[in-house]
Chain A
């Protein structure tokens, strides 16, 4: 395994009290593998990615274990951490408009990453920057390098951000919804690009997305998150074909895309998103679950392993 996350927990200290945003997440990514991370809004996907790269702020308390090639990321000294970020693990943020610095040219924002992690000289870095823009499908790269983020369209910004994240050829890319701002064709291009890089460079990929169709197309394994926890994980095909957590099943029925059974009617998940400031005693999904039993309310189901499948659901057998 290149990335192993064990029992990752993130508590935010807010003026209104603690928020348990990530509550015991386990993940594994093999070298060059693609892991899909899905779950509804607020389930803790972005916070998980940021915790892995240690990007959370002082109001977050992170515990658990993040191992990168057997090295403890949470204990890395600043120098080592700097090399890890960018050079070994690249991150694509969810909102490209906010992630790009509005007062620096795209060229500089690519260049500084190359300067930090490669031995290239000015000319070499410029050539590499052009190559990167070309790679993510930004034409006329030379002129584009001198432009500022506000001169880019939404899709362009997203691609520029991906180019920056890929600048120094990381071994693992944490991509937080990298295709949201893009139309379907471009979305497809970007996903193809990521898959090609994975194949060519052996780059691993953690792909956060709301689109189960994308997961079905691109990922080998998937982890489903609910209320800061992974409720089910396993190979995409078998998880989508026979979910073993009530939430996964509800998600598949609620979301369009190739993940859902073809021809089936979409069924929205009833109720409201769980409150993270007051963790449930039992299963967090229980209040919205249509197949729950009495145990679900009082005791948290523990994670069970069956071959390459993992799930934490009492109703698993009845799904």
Chain B
């Protein structure tokens, strides 16, 4: 089997998983307490209005028909209308999505930039003071709740030192990045901690490998031995972790966006839950689930690229 067919197989796998996610989201929405009709109308509507809205939302049809209708809509990017905002859910999500994507992308970049070099330093100085210091600091980061870290950074760097804005999103790319730096850093810390631990372990496993000694025996520069021979093998073990972490990263985004008043889908999710905006909740759950599967797919692709033995 070559890499092309492997990739095609992997892509084919993802289609049924999307259908499955769609069904789960549909069922979940029906299991939520309260019903959408009273969420739209409040508690004091007449029976006639209730019947009209029920028909309008398609809730008078049988469950399988509703499911097909829902899935059909999803395929066309049609998620209905937001109850709270009274605009199409798809438009609402598209408006809010960029902030979240920038936030998670930026935090991933920060996490990698922190974790990779520190993991190397920690592994090369294993059990000596630099290692203990790095691991200690990350341990604290890992055991502190995200919203607390966020508030701390906000107070110190934004409110006192005025280095960053206290919240919001700004206009244009430059401002977006500037506004999102603190929330991204907040989000990055716990991710970086997980990443650092995994990568440090992987580097320690690889660093004593025979092929690393052989690379040294060739008279290669230490930087090349580490950056090519060690890093690449160590990353293989860590990359799958990155994919798995995207889910918790998005979960963390919900909290961070609330703390930093970032107009992303995380905050939209919180608002929608409070407003019982079912169409939005449903669509967002679906979108986030799709993102997680895409992240896992991306992980597999990176892994395939790093490790020639994958797919053989």
Q: Are B232 and A53 in contact (CB under 8 A)?
A: no
Q: Are B218 and A55 in contact (CB under 8 A)?
A: no
Cβ-based interface call for B42 (8 A):
no
Shortest CB-to-CB span from A44 to chain B, Å, is 17
- The main secondary structure of chain B at its interface with chain A is helix
Contact flags A67-83 to B (C-beta < 8 A → 1, else 0): 00000000000100111
- B86 / chain A contacts, CB cutoff of 8 Å: none
Q: Are A100 and B309 in contact (CB under 8 A)?
A: no
**A91, B219: Cα distance in complex, Å:** 10
**A164, B232: Cα distance in complex, Å:** 20
Q: Are B217 and A93 in contact (CB under 8 A)?
A: yes
Cβ-based interface call for B220 (8 A):
yes
**A129, B122: Cα distance in complex, Å:** 37
**A98, B208: Cα distance in complex, Å:** 11
- Contact A83-B219, Cβ < 8 Å, known A100-B211, A103-B236, A103-B308: yes
Q: Are A53 and B217 in contact (CB under 8 A)?
A: yes
- A99 / chain B contacts, CB cutoff of 8 Å: 210-211, 213-214
Interface residues of B in 200-236 (CB under 8 A from A): 208-211, 213-222, 224, 228-229, 232-233, 236
- B236 / chain A contacts, CB cutoff of 8 Å: 103
Contact flags B226-250 to A (C-beta < 8 A → 1, else 0): 0011001100100000000000000
Number of B residues, CB within 8 Å of A:
25
Contacts between chains A and B (CB distance < 8 A), count = 85
Chain B interface: which of A110-118, A225-233, A264-272? A110-118
Interface residues of B in 259-275 (CB under 8 A from A): none
- B215 / chain A contacts, CB cutoff of 8 Å: 101, 112
Among A86, A87, A95, A165, the residue within 8 A (CB) of B210 is A95
- Contact A98-B219, Cβ < 8 Å, known A148-B308, A148-B309: no
- A78 / chain B contacts, CB cutoff of 8 Å: 222
- A98 / chain B contacts, CB cutoff of 8 Å: 209-211
- Contact A117-B308, Cβ < 8 Å, known A103-B232, A112-B224: no
- Contact A55-B213, Cβ < 8 Å, known A86-B219, A116-B219: yes
Cβ-based interface call for B44 (8 A):
no
Q: Are A150 and B233 in contact (CB under 8 A)?
A: no
Q: Are B213 and A86 in contact (CB under 8 A)?
A: no
- A55 / chain B contacts, CB cutoff of 8 Å: 213, 216-217
Cβ-based interface call for A104 (8 A):
yes
Q: Are B219 and A117 in contact (CB under 8 A)?
A: yes
- A161 / chain B contacts, CB cutoff of 8 Å: 214
Cβ-based interface call for B306 (8 A):
yes
- Contact A116-B218, Cβ < 8 Å, known A57-B208, A148-B309: yes
**Which size class do A's interface residues fall under?**
20 to 34
- B213 / chain A contacts, CB cutoff of 8 Å: 50, 55, 93, 99
Cβ-based interface call for A128 (8 A):
no
Cβ-based interface call for A102 (8 A):
yes
Q: Are B233 and A116 in contact (CB under 8 A)?
A: no
**A113, B225: Cα distance in complex, Å:** 11
Contact flags B270-312 to A (C-beta < 8 A → 1, else 0): 0000000000000000000000000000000000001111001
Q: Are B312 and A150 in contact (CB under 8 A)?
A: yes
- A102 / chain B contacts, CB cutoff of 8 Å: 211, 233, 307-309
Q: Are A104 and B221 in contact (CB under 8 A)?
A: no
Q: Are A85 and B233 in contact (CB under 8 A)?
A: no
Q: Are A86 and B309 in contact (CB under 8 A)?
A: no
Q: Are B232 and A87 in contact (CB under 8 A)?
A: no
- A86 / chain B contacts, CB cutoff of 8 Å: 217-220
- A5 / chain B contacts, CB cutoff of 8 Å: none
Cβ-based interface call for A255 (8 A):
no
Cβ-based interface call for A191 (8 A):
no
Q: Are B219 and A84 in contact (CB under 8 A)?
A: yes
Shortest CB-to-CB span from B166 to chain A, Å, is 46
**A83, B218: Cα distance in complex, Å:** 9
Q: Are B219 and A93 in contact (CB under 8 A)?
A: no
Q: Are B220 and A93 in contact (CB under 8 A)?
A: no
Query: What is the chain A residue whose CB lies nearest that of B126?
Result: A58
Q: Are A93 and B232 in contact (CB under 8 A)?
A: no
Query: What is the chain A residue whose CB lies nearest that of B220?
Result: A116
Q: Are A93 and B214 in contact (CB under 8 A)?
A: yes
Query: What is the chain B residue whose CB lies nearest that of A55?
Result: B213
- B214 / chain A contacts, CB cutoff of 8 Å: 91, 93, 99-101, 161, 164
Among A84, A87, A103, the residue within 8 A (CB) of B233 is A103
**A214, B220: Cα distance in complex, Å:** 32
**A165, B218: Cα distance in complex, Å:** 7
- Contact A85-B218, Cβ < 8 Å, known A57-B208, A103-B236, A104-B228: yes
- Kindly list 4 other residue pairs between chains A and B, CB separation below 8 angstroms, not including A87-B219, A98-B211, A103-B307: A83-B219, A91-B217, A101-B229, A105-B308
Using CB atoms and an 8 Å cutoff, list the residues of chain B in contact with chain A: 208-211, 213-222, 224, 228-229, 232-233, 236, 306-309, 312
Q: List 11 A-B contacts (CB under 8 A).
A: A55-B216, A57-B208, A82-B220, A85-B219, A93-B217, A100-B211, A100-B214, A101-B214, A105-B308, A112-B224, A116-B218
